[in-house]
C-alpha cells in the first residue's frame, strides 16, 4: 500500500470517531502520539486538550482493557486489550510497520509504511508531518533508542533520561506537550540534563543487576529486579544490553512486592523470540498471562495471572525456551 493510503485511513478514522489515542508509554509511543495530533491538526481536525485525548495506560492495566473507536499506538490485541467495534492500530513490531483498521478482532485493511524504525517515524511518514531539522534530530534519536542502536550521543541521553523517569506518568505528558508546542530544543535540553544524571547514578545499579544474572537454560540468563524501585528499573535496559553481548538470550524478571510483575526478553543474536511469546500465550494465556514483541525483544506480563511466585515464573520461562528456541538446531547461536 502507498503511504497516502495510510494517511487517508488515519484521517478518515478520526473524522468518523473523533480523536482518541491510546498509546504505549515508551519513547516512540509518546512521540508517535504527538506526531499524530500534529498531522491531524494540519488536516483541519481539532482535538482540544491533548491530555484529554491521549492516554498512556500502565502495562499492568492492559489485560482486559476494552478499547473502541480509538487510535492505538503499539497496543495490539496480543498485549491483552479487548478490541470492540472499530479501532485503528499503528504498530511497527512485529514487522512490517503498518496501519491496520480493525472491526472487532478482525483486520479489515492493512497499510504498510516502509522504512519506519519506530512508531514515531511510522506516523511521521504516514501523515507526511513536516518537521524542522531540530525535530528530526529528536525523532532519529527516538528511532535509535527504540532499536537500542545509539548512533548519536543524543539518542543515548534521550533514552537514559526516559529510563530515569520511566515510572512517572507526568513525564510522558510533558514530552507530548513540548513536542506539540514545537519546543524541540527544550526536549533536547531535558534529555541532556536528565540523561547525564542517569549516567552518573545508574551505572552502579547496572553492575549490581549484571552480577545477579544466573543461567536459566543453555541459551538464556536471567536476573531479577525490583519493579517498584526507580533506579533499578532505570538500570534494566543497560544491564540487559551488557549481558546480551555475552549470552544468546537475556531475561529481566521484574518483581513487585516480591511477586512476578513482568519480564523483558531480548537477544542480539539471530534468534526469533516471537516463538517464545506465541508459545506463552498459547499455553498460559488462559491463566491471565500476556506476552508479545518482535524478533529481538519483547515482554511478558504476569500481573493478573495465576503465576504468583518467582519459581513458577522461572519454570514457565524455562519451559518456553526449551520447547521453542532450544528445540531448534543451532539455537544456541
* Cα–Cα distance measured from residue 300 to residue 290, given in angstroms and rounded to the nearest whole number: 6
Does 99 lie in the same domain as 7? yes
Residue 200: CB atoms within 10 Å:
9
User: Which pLDDT score is estimated for 328?
Assistant: 63
Same domain for 231 and 317, yes or no, is yes
Give the separation between CA 120 and CA 35, rounded to whole angstroms: 7
Model pLDDT, residue 332:
44
Query: Within this chain, do residues 309 and 223 fall inside the same structural domain, yes or no?
Result: yes
Of the residues 140, 163, 194, which one is the last residue of a structural domain? 194
For residue 253, what are the β-bridge partners? 224, 263
Q: Is 60 exposed, middle or buried (0-12, 13-18, 19+ CB in 10 A)?
A: middle
The pLDDT assigned to 230 comes to 85
Which domain does 298 fall in, by range?
211-327
Contact between 36 and 124 under an 8 Å Cβ cutoff? The reply is no
Residue 202 lies in a domain: no
Q: Residue 57 and residue 75: Cα distance in Å, rounded?
A: 10
pLDDT of residue 4: 74
In terms of C-beta density within 10 A (0-12 exposed, 13-18 middle, 19 or more buried), how is residue 224 classed? Answer: buried
CA-wise closest residue to 92 among 134, 129, 124, 128: 124
241 and 129, same structural domain?
A: no
Give phi and psi for 268, each to the nearest 5.
Answer: -105, -5
Flag residues of the chain having pLDDT under 70: 1-3, 328-333
Does residue 311 fall inside a structural domain?
A: yes
How far is Cα 22 from Cα 79, in angstroms, rounded to an integer?
A: 13
Same structural domain, 145 and 235: no
pTM higher than 0.85: no
Residue 157 lies in a domain: yes
Total tally of structural domains belonging to the chain: 2
In the prediction, which pLDDT does 306 show?
93
Same domain membership, residue 231 and residue 126: no
Contact yes or no for 69/17 (Cβ under 8 A): yes
C-alpha cell at 298: 519483547
Same domain for 183 and 62, yes or no, is yes
179 and 227 part of one domain: no
309 and 320 in contact (C-beta within 8 Å)? Answer: no
Residue in 250, 73, 265 with CA at minimum distance from that of residue 176: 73
Last residue of a domain, one of 194, 226, 254: 194
CATH number, domain of 274, equals 3.10.310.40
Label residues 17-54 b or e (16+ Cβ within 10 Å = b).
bebbbbbbbbbbbbbbbbbbbbbbeeeeeebeebeebb
Domain boundary among 161, 194, 227: 194
d(CA 310, CA 320): 15
Query: ω into residue 291 within 30 of 0, thus cis?
Result: no
- Diameter of the chain by CA atoms? 56
Regarding whether 283 and 139 lie in a shared domain, the answer is: no
pLDDT attached to residue 3:
54
In a domain, 333, yes or no: no
With the C-alpha atoms ordered 268, 76, 117, 173, is the resulting torsion angle positive or negative? Answer: negative
Amino acid at each position: 500500500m502507498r503511504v497516502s493510503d495510510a494517511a487517508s485511513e488515519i484521517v478518515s478514522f478520526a473524522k468518523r470517531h473523533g480523536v482518541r489515542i491510546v498509546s504505549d508509554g515508551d519513547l516512540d509511543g509518546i512521540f508517535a502520539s504527538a506526531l499524530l495530533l500534529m498531522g491531524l491538526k494540519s488536516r483541519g481536525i481539532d482535538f482540544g486538550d491533548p491530555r484529554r485525548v491521549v492516554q498512556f495506560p500502565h502495562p499492568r492495566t492492559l489485560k482486559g482493557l476494552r478499547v473502541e473507536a480509538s487510535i492505538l499506538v503499539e497496543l495490539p490485541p496480543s498485549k491483552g486489550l479487548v478490541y470492540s467495534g472499530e479501532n485503528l492500530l499503528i504498530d511497527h513490531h512485529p514487522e512490517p510497520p503498518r496501519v491496520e483498521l480493525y472491526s472487532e478482532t478482525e483486520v479489515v485493511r492493512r497499510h504498510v509504511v516502509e522504512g519506519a524504525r519506530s512508531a514515531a517515524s511510522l506516523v511521521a511518514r504516514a501523515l507526511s508531518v513536516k518537521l524542522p531539522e531540530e525535530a528530526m534530530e529528536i525523532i532519529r534519536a527516538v528511532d535509535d533508542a527504540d532499536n537500542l542502536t545509539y548512533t548519536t550521543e543524543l539518542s543515548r541521553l534521550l533514552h537514559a533520561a526516559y529510563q530515569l523517569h520511566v515510572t512517572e506518568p507526568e513525564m510522558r505528558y510533558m514530552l507530548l506537550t513540548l513536542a506539540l508546542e514545537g519546543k524541540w530544543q527544550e526536549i533536547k535540553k531535558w534529555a541532556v540534563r536528565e540523561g547525564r544524571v542517569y549516567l552518573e547514578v545508574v551505572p552502579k545499579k547496572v553492575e549490581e543487576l549484571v552480577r545477579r544474572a544466573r543461567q536459566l537454560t543453555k541459551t538464556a540468563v536471567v536476573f531479577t529486579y525490583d519493579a517498584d524501585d526507580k533506579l533499578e528499573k532505570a538500570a534494566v535496559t543497560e544491564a540487559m544490553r551488557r549481558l546480551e553481548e555475552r549470552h544468546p538470550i537475556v531475561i529481566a524478571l521484574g518483581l513487585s512486592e516480591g511477586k512476578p510483575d513482568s519480564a523483558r526478553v531480548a537477544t542480539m543474536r539471530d534468534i526469533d523470540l516471537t516463538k517464545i511469546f506465541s508459545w506463552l500465550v498459547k499455553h498460559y494465556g488462559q491463566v491471565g498471562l500476556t506476552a508479545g514483541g518482535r524478533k529481538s525483544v519483547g515482554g511478558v506480563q504476569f500481573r493478573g495471572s495465576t503465576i504468583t511466585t518467582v519459581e513458577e515464573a522461572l519454570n514457565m520461562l524455562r519451559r518456553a525456551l526449551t520447547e521453542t528456541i532450544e528445540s531448534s538446531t543451532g539455537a544456541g547461536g
